Amino acid sequence: MTPPSTPDHFAIAIDGPAASGKSTIARELAKRLGLIMVNSGAMYRAVTWQVIQHQLDPHDATAVIGLMDQLDIRCGDDGSTSTITINGIDPGDALRSPEVNASVSAIAAIPEVRARLVALQRDYLKRANVVMEGRDIGSVVFPDTPYKIYVDAAEHVRAARRVDMGEVDSVAKRDAADSRRTTAPLIVADGATVLDNSGHTVESALEATLEILKQQGLPI
Ligand code: DC
């Protein structure tokens, strides 16, 4: 897959492990800079939700790819944040169910699933400047963007964050799977700056992020 030539729009890539606070940073950054915030994890979650609905084994790549061929996945935005429908349905809160949390890493490890979703992620740049958060945005989706941040936080901080959100999610297990997979594993992308978000407030994390982006050459 060759990254598209995108002279008119830019992407800010925010990657990092589960519950590191990257979604919050991406959302606040999008608000501050007037960008579209794209949650790429929602795309992997939406496919996982369908796999569960169809009672397929998430580890059965052939079955998952067969199902995916029948799915009409549409990604858009509401003016500030990405939206997704599958076969015309917005999965909403179902994307964050314990079942989806438990199976999404298996689905995200399937190269054919990734190829299709990465194409949809790159499509965003045809219409808007984006801040996109995920695991491989700086390494695979937009490797040429100069604006890359890897948001990390101590494991106990991340686990506590999920509990605060009222979610059942084995963060460490998911991170291990996402980091060890063969295709597009979670890594600190070339050129990315690491932001340790363990002790930040939302406001101070946003200021630190803006400072990094300035240093990376974003004219703000
Ligand atoms: O960001 P999140 O926790 O909602 O992502 C859910 C899962 O999707 C994550 O465990 C791994 C996968 N994912 C991925 O492989 N690549 C991305 N760019 C985003 C998410």
45 ligand 1 Cβ < 6 A: yes
Mean pLDDT of 147-174: 89
Give residue-wise pLDDT tens across range 18-44: 999 999 999 999 999 999 999 999 999
206 ligand 1 Cβ < 6 A: no
| Residue 165: predicted pLDDT | 83
Closest Cα to atom 4 of ligand 1: 41
CA of 6 to the centre of ligand 1 (A): 24
Closest Cα to atom 6 of ligand 1: 41
pLDDT tier at 5 (50, 70, 90 boundaries)?
very low
Contacts of 188 (CB under 8 A, 6+ apart): 15, 150, 194
| Residue 188: predicted pLDDT | 97
**By C-alpha distance, which of 167, 205, 193 is closest to 28?**
205
| Residue 73: predicted pLDDT | 98
200 ligand 1 Cβ < 6 A: no
| Residue 69: predicted pLDDT | 96
CA of 40 to the centre of ligand 1 (A): 7
Give residue-wise pLDDT tens across range 180-218: 999 999 999 999 999 999 999 999 999 999 999 999 999
Q: Give the three-state DSSP class for 76.
A: strand
| Residue 139: predicted pLDDT | 98
174 ligand 1 Cβ < 6 A: yes
Handedness of CA 111, 115, 116, 121 (dihedral sign): positive
Q: How many CB atoms lie within 10 A of CB 85?
A: 14
108 ligand 1 Cβ < 6 A: yes
| Residue 3: predicted pLDDT | 52
| Residue 7: predicted pLDDT | 58
pLDDT tier at 118 (50, 70, 90 boundaries)?
very high
Give residue-wise pLDDT tens across range 53-100: 999 999 999 999 999 999 999 999 999 999 999 999 999 999 999 999
Closest Cα to atom 13 of ligand 1: 41
Instruction: Describe the strand order of the beta sheet including 148-152 as a list of residue ranges.
Output: 36-39, 130-134, 11-15, 148-152, 193-196
Closest Cα to atom 10 of ligand 1: 105
158 ligand 1 Cβ < 6 A: no
28 ligand 1 Cβ < 6 A: no
Which domains are assigned to the chain? 11-214 (3.40.50.300)
| Residue 84: predicted pLDDT | 98
Environment class of 56 (CB within 10 Å of its CB; exposed 0-12, middle 13-18, buried 19+): middle
105 ligand 1 Cβ < 6 A: yes
